[in-house]
Amino acid sequence: MRTTETAIDAGAGAAPSAERRPHIVIVGAGFGGLSAAKGLAGVAADVTLIDRKNHHLFQPLLYQVATAGLAPNQIATPVRTIVRHQANTRAILAEVGGVDLARKLIVTGGRRTPFDILVLATGATHAYFGHDEWAAHAPGLKSLEDAVELRRRVLTAFEAAETACDPAERRRLLTFAVIGAGPTGVEMAGAIAELAHRALTRDFRAVRDAKARVLLIEAGERVLPTFRPDLSAYAARALAKLGVELKLGSAVSAMDDQGLMAGAERIEAATVIWAAGVRASSAARWLGIEPDRAGRVTVQPDLSIAGAPDVFVIGDTASVVGADGRPVPGVAPAAKQQGEYVARLIKARLAGRAGPGPFRYSDFGSLATVGRRAAVVQLGRFQLRGTLAWLFWCVAHIYFLVGFRNRIQVGLDWLWSYLTFERGARLITGEDQAARALNSHIAGTCDCPSL
């Protein structure tokens, strides 16, 4: 039993030297946490990477899982596999419940684990601006479970439209409303429009005849507001070409299970998708710190929290002003850079060297795709749109995807979808909810004698 116990015990027990190796705990295996863990490879410390999922998720492609283009496993990789070759690092599947800052303990389930250095990289979740009751009507898109649930709703709406006899109900079933016109909202609206107007028309008669309606609802005055105005205008035109109806300057004020109010207009829609806002994770509450308006922890220039130089918060759950005086945006490249920065700082500190200066965010640019051969790319002063931007977007996403196998598979799937207009993961799954939901649609619509 002795060997087994030692193997399990990554903390003090596993250290061969008499001196105890410091224990670095990283919570969250997203872009931030993973890059911190990778940056700590080979450091004379025990690194524990905790996540409540067993996989790192490539969130930028989550909308393709929600619209049946990719399968869940193609954009996720087990965290264990990623850190397999780092002898000083172990991955743990557990949900963190809190932090005891005074005693330097992290709480998971009924267990308290001591840490010397803590990196919180717990990300963000959807925020409904004080309307948490909207969550049931308009799910967001953060996890694989979210994506599979959205896929179920989208595909079930098409199925139900096929057997609805009341024309108004059929129109409602074929109306898809995406709220929020940032990159995720634009990508979702474009992908649903391609699904409705291209991929599914061969299989669904009602879709072919009645035409689906895809709405993109945005409170602001333009789509992709973080991009340059001419790229926003291009994206709006590309969306219109795909058949997406844009509702700009329309704030959503009410929602129920039949539809929503956008500005002064009532829209009957069976499927509503939330892409309008996020709120940081519970890290601030764990640390007993007053969060900012977005729920984030405001950190020092070195990403540690005030009064606790060994506790770092990075990524979407941190609020920091970069060395250039501008707030660092909540995007994947920023989280990655923060992870790398914290790893460098910890390494220097453990080696007794002077650490790097304050965190500095390098903005390499932004990409967003609308659909087939339509994307926008903004890299510094350089910008691209159309087919070339779309190819650049495809190559960049395959490049940043984790895992050789996933890259090959996603590449082949995209090629196949491009050539055939098909979608490769058109599955409705989830405990027979699908058919039940559908039967209730059918029951609710009419007593027409034929299916």
Examine residue 251 and tell whether it contacts a second copy (CB under 8 A): no
Q: Residue count of the chain, please give it.
A: 451
Tell me the closest approach of the beta carbon of residue 141 to a second copy, in angstroms: 15
- Choosing from 10, 154, 195, 289, the residue that interacts with a second copy (CB under 8 A) is 10
**145 is annotated as an active-site residue:** no
d(Cα 100, Cα 122) in Å, to the nearest integer? 17
Examine residue 119 and tell whether it contacts a second copy (CB under 8 A): no
Instruction: Lay out the site mask for a second copy across 371-410 (x = CB under 8 A, - = otherwise).
Output: ----------------------------------x---x-
Examine residue 155 and tell whether it contacts a second copy (CB under 8 A): yes
**What are phi and psi for residue 142, nearest 5 degrees?**
-125, -30
- For strand 124-126 and strand 278-280, is the pairing parallel, antiparallel, or unpaired? antiparallel
Write out the binding residues for a second copy, residues 264-293 only, by CB under 8 A: none
Question: Would you state the structure tokens that stand for residue 447, as one six-digit string?
Answer: 């007593």
Write out the binding residues for a second copy, residues 189-248 only, by CB under 8 A: 202-206, 208-210
- Whether the CB-CB separation of 224 and 235 falls below 8 Å is answered with yes
Stretch that binds a second copy, among 119-127, 157-165, 251-259, 296-304 (CB under 8 A): 157-165
Neighbours of 82 (CB within 10 A): 20
Dihedral angle computed from the Cα positions of residues 251, 253, 164 and 188, in that order, rounded to the nearest 10 degrees: 40
- Choosing from 35, 48, 281, 317, the residue that interacts with a second copy (CB under 8 A) is 48
Cβ proximity to a second copy, 73 vs 300, nearer residue: 73
Examine residue 76 and tell whether it contacts a second copy (CB under 8 A): yes
- Choosing from 15, 94, 101, 261, the residue that interacts with a second copy (CB under 8 A) is 94
Examine residue 20 and tell whether it contacts a second copy (CB under 8 A): no
Write out the binding residues for a second copy, residues 162-181 only, by CB under 8 A: 162-165, 167, 170
d(Cα 442, Cα 424) in Å, to the nearest integer? 27
Examine residue 100 and tell whether it contacts a second copy (CB under 8 A): no
Three-state secondary-structure class, residue 189: helix
d(Cα 383, Cα 112) in Å, to the nearest integer? 50
The DSSP annotation for 384-414 comes to: EESHHHHHHHHHHHHHHSSSHHHHHHHHHHH
Examine residue 9 and tell whether it contacts a second copy (CB under 8 A): yes
- Choosing from 67, 122, 156, 304, the residue that interacts with a second copy (CB under 8 A) is 156
Catalytic site residue from 162, 169, 187, 194: 187
- Choosing from 100, 132, 145, 292, the residue that interacts with a second copy (CB under 8 A) is 145
d(Cα 153, Cα 158) in Å, to the nearest integer? 9
- Choosing from 109, 130, 325, 380, the residue that interacts with a second copy (CB under 8 A) is 109
Taking phi first (over 0 means left), then psi (-120 to 50 degrees means alpha), and beta for anything else, what does residue 9 get? beta
Instruction: Lay out the site mask for a second copy across 420-439 (x = CB under 8 A, - = otherwise).
Output: --x-xxxxxxxxx-xxx-xx
Question: Would you state the structure tokens that stand for residue 15, as one six-digit string?
Answer: 């250290």
d(Cα 129, Cα 126) in Å, to the nearest integer? 9
Stretch that binds a second copy, among 10-18, 123-131, 285-293, 299-307 (CB under 8 A): 10-18
- Whether the CB-CB separation of 301 and 28 falls below 8 Å is answered with no
Examine residue 449 and tell whether it contacts a second copy (CB under 8 A): yes
Cβ proximity to a second copy, 162 vs 340, nearer residue: 162
From the number of C-beta atoms within 10 Å of its C-beta (0-12, 13-18, 19+), residue 115 rates as buried
Stretch that binds a second copy, among 70-78, 250-258, 288-296, 346-354 (CB under 8 A): 70-78
What amino acid positions are annotated as catalytic residues?
187
